[in-house]
Amino acid sequence: GAGVSQSPSNKVTEKGKDVELRCDPISGHTALYWYRQSLGQGLEFLIYFQGNSAPDKSGLPSDRFSAERTGGSVSTLTIQRTQQEDSAVYLCASSPGGQSYEQYFGPGTRLTVT
């Protein structure tokens, strides 16, 4: 079946502009995660959605970052007033929920802030 998809695959933006990154999770998965991965670094947790519960935003690095998940499916990560340090690969993952916790990742969006 279809895996997690993300768009765009690459995004180049000027410092100070806003960007929106989209994630389409695997159909039926109740949990959705956003991570950031800088060059040669590990995964940095950003935000977690589980069903209709309030999201866990504890990983968001600043109030310039926000995310929403509409209808328990598609999610959008928004970065306002982008800075050069926001340049990274943004990865989305979904998980079946219930008694299954393994995460399935999308290909990522490579964001470059110039």
Partner 1 sequence: QKEVEQDPGPLSVPEGAIVSLNCTYSNSAFQYFMWYRQYSRKGPELLMYTYSSGNKEDGRFTAQVDKSSKYISLFIRDSQPSDSATYLCATDNYGQNFVFGPGTRLSVLP
- Site of interaction with partner 1 (CB under 8 A): 4, 31, 33, 41-43, 45, 48, 50, 91, 93, 95, 97, 101-108, 110
**DSSP assignment of 33-69, as one string?**
EEEEE-TT--EEEEEEEETTSPPB-TT--STTEEEEE
d(CA 47, CA 83): 19
Least separation in angstroms between residue 5's CB and partner 1 is 10
CB nearer partner 1, residue 78 or residue 100: 100
Question: CB of 106: closest distance to partner 1 in angstroms?
Answer: 5
CB of 26 vs partner 1, minimal distance in Å: 12
Taking the complex as a whole, the smallest distance from the CB of residue 81 to partner 1 amounts, in Å, to: 27
How many C-alpha atoms does 38 have within 13 Å on its Cβ side?
8
Whose tokens are 């964001």? That residue is 111
Instruction: Kindly tell me which of 82 and 109 has the beta carbon lying closer to partner 1.
Output: 109
